[in-house]
Chains A and B, each alone.
Chain A
Amino acid sequence: MTGTLAALGAGLAVIGAGIGLGQIGGKAVEAIARQPEASGDIRGAMILMAAFMEGAALIAILLAFFIK
């Protein structure tokens, strides 16, 4: 049953990542709508933040894979 628990952990990590991505994407679109001239900077920051968040999620998923 350890495999099942690991899969559960991976799933939980993805829920967290999903919430994070939603926040980042939503706020970035909002910011671009408010200030379209700053869209370039906002997009760069958005991708960077998404990468940070995704890194945490991926570490959780990889740990779920490796720790049996």
Chain B
Amino acid sequence: MLRILAIVAILMAFSPSLTSQADKNGLKKAKEQTHQGHDHSGHNHGHDHSGHNHDHSGHNHDDHKGHDHGHKHDDHAGHNHGAHNGDHGHGDHGHHPHYHVTDYNKDCGVAVKIDNPEPSYDPTATAIHHISDANVWTIMDMVRVPLPAIIYNKDRGMEFFSTGKFQAGHHDNGHYGYKDYVLFEGNIHRITCPAFDAKDKYEVQGFDKEEMVSAAGKNYEKKFAIINNKAYNIEQKTIWDGGMLGGTPSSFIDLSPTKNVVSMGLVSLILFLLFRKAVKKYQGAPNAPSGVQSFLEPMFQFIRDDVAVPFLGDKHEKFLPLLMTIFFFILGLNLWGQVPFLGNVNVTGSLTVTAVMAIVVFILTNINGNGDYWKHILWPPDTPWFVKIILIPVELLGMFIKPLTLMLRLAGNISAGHIAILSFVGLIFIFGKAGTNMAGSLTGTALAIPLTMFMMAIELIVAFVQAFVFTILTASYLGAATEEHHHDDHH
């Protein structure tokens, strides 16, 4: 079992986030101006702004002078960060300058204008940002665990560094750039301007992005990093989706162990330790189940007796390790994503992860398929020729639709749960006008706490049900592929 688990984990490690970035692009509708607040020296933001060496030369700070920063931050520090997972809609939004590119049609080195807009809150963009994979692990906007970055680009080959170099801040945007890499919304981006002077460390003032329409009439997103009051175009990592979900081949490939990959490793390790503990109990004298054993044994028995045996019959022994691995891996990751304040890890809600699992099931179903299975797909028996014409394409499509639904069902369910919880937390900022209205914030909090708890209770059921459903469907596909048919020639 653990061997298969390890293989699955390794497979996933090599496809860190092929589509998660694309989800973000595909789902996002609202244009969001992003910003950073690194030019507020002397403030205590409550997160990791300390220790920065702020270079103020060349920045326009005149419009900040009149603000009573200290007072406002005392009001909000602790309140905004301690109450919930969200790190958006802070009271200090108004102090973060927004950088806007003056002409979105131009590239590389365009001048920028700075303004201080009213605090605003975009629930859709916030939710999408929080369920996406990232190159840093952010816990409640306070602790940011840097993760290793492994990047391949055509010009310089493999590069290894820590994402700690970006010193990510609010919105998981990096305050600093490393070579031509910057961190934008938690993901590594590369500056594409040839004229850009890539140093080992330079300050990034902020980011901007704009929805554009290409000459061919296709929508795409233009992203900029603002460095030295000039905008430089940035591009995301290569995503091999053929442009379907907004991803394209770009100048670099990101092979980093992201938040999701690290989560999978940790959950695999926890499962390994739990099962080892349980297995040791069986090696001694027979005894009543105790401890972790009494938690794992009923689930193990349930999968064996109610899933494996009814669908696979005599062959259930062969596929039991696979089914157990799938069940406990999904269950573990579902529950891991449920732990509050742990950084909103959404592993089983990532299409990449579920796609790899579905591909494993697809391959195993087809290599284990017997003659009858293939006969039913390629030349359905006992049917007239005109039915065959319809049936064969349908059966062939069904071969691919089965793993596709497997992939979408799990990712959709878990992501939907995360989005629902984030939306309820977002009520605080919607009622509180992005943190500027204290009474509204309190009303929102009073509403959000019971709703979030209710949703999390439902998600706890969903975590088990979806792990079970994925397992039972895998068993039924395998069962259908390996079943011995006994055709009666007389009818």
A residues lining the B interface (CB < 8 Å): 3, 40, 44, 47-48, 51-52, 54-56, 58-59, 61-62, 65-66, 68
Question: Are B405's CB and A55's CB within 8 A?
Answer: yes
- Rounded to whole Å, the gap between the CB of A8 and the closest CB of chain B is 15
- Rounded to whole Å, the gap between the CB of B310 and the closest CB of chain A is 8
Whether A59 touches B473, Cβ cut-off 8 Å, given contacts A3-B29, A44-B306, A65-B27, is no
Question: Are A47's CB and B412's CB within 8 A?
Answer: no
For A59, the chain B residues whose CB sits under 8 A away are 405, 408
For A47, the chain B residues whose CB sits under 8 A away are 465, 468-469, 472
Q: How far is the CA of A8 from the CA of B41 in the complex (A)?
A: 47
Q: How far is the CA of A52 from the CA of B408 in the complex (A)?
A: 11
Residue of B nearest to A6 (CB): B29
Question: Are B405's CB and A68's CB within 8 A?
Answer: no
**Chain A to chain B contacts (Cβ below 8 Å), 23 pairs:** A3-B29, A44-B306, A44-B310, A44-B472, A47-B465, A47-B472, A48-B469, A51-B409, A51-B472, A51-B473, A54-B413, A55-B405, A55-B408, A58-B412, A58-B416, A59-B405, A59-B408, A61-B412, A62-B408, A62-B412, A65-B26, A65-B27, A68-B219
Give the tally of cross-chain contacts (CB within 8 A): 42
- Rounded to whole Å, the gap between the CB of A13 and the closest CB of chain B is 11
For A56, the chain B residues whose CB sits under 8 A away are 405
- Rounded to whole Å, the gap between the CB of A48 and the closest CB of chain B is 6
Residue B364 lies at the interface, judged by CB distance under 8 Å to chain A: no
Residue B476 lies at the interface, judged by CB distance under 8 Å to chain A: yes
Encode B448-484 as 1/0 by CB contact (under 8 A) with A: 0000000000000000010011001100100000000
Question: Are B27's CB and A51's CB within 8 A?
Answer: no
Q: How far is the CA of A40 from the CA of B409 in the complex (A)?
A: 24
The interface centre, meaning the residue of B405, B413, B416 with most chain A CB atoms within 10 A of its CB, is B405
Q: How far is the CA of A3 from the CA of B28 in the complex (A)?
A: 11
For B27, the chain A residues whose CB sits under 8 A away are 65-66
Q: How many residues of B contact A (CB 8 A)?
A: 20
CB neighbors of A among B232-283 (8 A): 244-245
Q: How far is the CA of A33 from the CA of B195 in the complex (A)?
A: 75
Residue of A nearest to B402 (CB): A55
For B245, the chain A residues whose CB sits under 8 A away are 66
For B472, the chain A residues whose CB sits under 8 A away are 44, 47-48, 51
Q: How far is the CA of A66 from the CA of B468 in the complex (A)?
A: 27
Q: How far is the CA of A62 from the CA of B407 in the complex (A)?
A: 12
- Rounded to whole Å, the gap between the CB of A20 and the closest CB of chain B is 14
For A65, the chain B residues whose CB sits under 8 A away are 26-27
- Rounded to whole Å, the gap between the CB of A5 and the closest CB of chain B is 12
Q: How far is the CA of A54 from the CA of B465 in the complex (A)?
A: 12
CB neighbors of A among B23-67 (8 A): 26-27, 29
Q: How far is the CA of A52 from the CA of B409 in the complex (A)?
A: 9
Q: How far is the CA of A55 from the CA of B407 in the complex (A)?
A: 9
Q: How far is the CA of A5 from the CA of B467 in the complex (A)?
A: 33
Whether A48 touches B473, Cβ cut-off 8 Å, given contacts A3-B29, A65-B27, is yes
Q: How far is the CA of A33 from the CA of B489 in the complex (A)?
A: 40
The interface centre, meaning the residue of A3, A51, A54, A56 with most chain B CB atoms within 10 A of its CB, is A51
- Rounded to whole Å, the gap between the CB of A65 and the closest CB of chain B is 5
Whether A58 touches B29, Cβ cut-off 8 Å, given contacts A47-B465, A51-B469, A66-B245, is no
> Knowing that A44-B310, A66-B245 are A-B contacts, what are 19 other residue pairs whose CB atoms are under 8 Å apart, sorted by A's residue number?
A3-B29, A44-B306, A47-B469, A47-B472, A48-B472, A51-B469, A51-B472, A52-B405, A54-B409, A54-B413, A55-B409, A58-B412, A58-B413, A59-B405, A65-B26, A65-B27, A66-B27, A66-B244, A68-B219
Q: How far is the CA of A6 from the CA of B47 in the complex (A)?
A: 38
For B244, the chain A residues whose CB sits under 8 A away are 66
Q: How far is the CA of A40 from the CA of B305 in the complex (A)?
A: 11
- Rounded to whole Å, the gap between the CB of A14 and the closest CB of chain B is 11
Q: How far is the CA of A47 from the CA of B307 in the complex (A)?
A: 12
- Rounded to whole Å, the gap between the CB of B476 and the closest CB of chain A is 7
For B310, the chain A residues whose CB sits under 8 A away are 44
